[in-house]
Chains A and B, each alone.
Chain A
Amino acid sequence: DVKVTQSSRYLVKRTGEKVFLECVQDMDHENMFWYRQDPGLGLRLIYFSYDVKMKEKGDIPEGYSVSREKKERFSLILESASTNQTSMYLCASRDKGAADTQYFGPGTRLTVL
């Protein structure tokens, strides 16, 4: 089974802090994604990566950055957390030969006070 793990299930940070959300997948997938999930808005794509050291902006990249130094790990960075970044963050991975199926991690619920 494909496994996508995220470093924390729940996280509480203060405004202005730098926040790292880590995601690791164990199936050698090329493609990795970060979404945020908000009630009534579904999932919105923040950033994605097609390969190591490659990154592309999604629909809502403002206030976020990403890092992909190794194929299995994709990090989401909030340089200076703000209260409007309180949300559920979901990581996903996908094999480049299986465009239809993304595998999701369990999510990190981030609260910014």
Chain B
Amino acid sequence: GDSVTQMEGPVTLSEEAFLTINCTYTATGYPSLFWYVQYPGEGLQLLLKATKADDKGSNKGFEATYRKETTSFHLEKGSVQVSDSAVYFCALRNQGGKLIFGQGTELSVKP
């Protein structure tokens, strides 16, 4: 079945470091891909999305490119801040309209 796999956390970085959180997927057809973020004590918020191959989603300095050839949607940010500390979820929406989430990756940014 369709699935999403993310790199395990926690990821601990110093402020201004470069961030990559890996995400790969398995799905039939052409799913839409998403990154959601969950700040401490809050629900999930949509961070960015891409709906077709080679699309780049971006928001708040974060970027991810839909790579169909490698079935990946890695999240990157050039310079993280303490306020980026959160849990990040990669997700896909499959042909049936169902949203399928990865297991989440916790990011901790130290000053």
- Chain A: interface residue total (CB-CB under 8 A): 18
Interface residues on B, range: 20 to 34
Interface of B is mostly: strand
Which of A40, A42, A107 contacts B43 (CB under 8 A)? A107
The answer to whether B89 touches A101, judged by C-beta atoms less than 8 angstroms apart, is no
Cβ contacts under 8 Å, B49 to chain A:
100-101
Q: Does B32 contact A (CB under 8 A)?
A: yes
Q: Could you tell me the distance between the alpha carbons of A105 and B44 in the complex, rounded to whole angstroms? A: 8
- Interchain CB contact under 8 A, A40 and B46: no
Decide yes or no whether A27 CB sits under 8 A from chain B: no
Q: How far is the CB of B14 from chain A (nearest CB, A)?
A: 25
29 A–B contacts, CB within 8 A, in A order: A37-B104, A41-B103, A42-B4, A42-B89, A42-B101, A42-B102, A42-B104, A43-B101, A44-B101, A45-B98, A90-B43, A92-B43, A92-B44, A99-B93, A99-B97, A100-B32, A100-B34, A100-B49, A100-B93, A101-B46, A102-B46, A102-B99, A104-B44, A104-B45, A106-B41, A106-B42, A106-B43, A107-B42, A107-B43
Closest CB pairs A-B (n = 10): A104-B43, A42-B101, A42-B103, A104-B44, A43-B101, A106-B43, A105-B43, A42-B104, A42-B102, A40-B103
Which residues does B use to contact A, with CB under 8 Å?
A: 4, 32, 34, 41-46, 49, 51, 89, 93, 97-99, 101-104
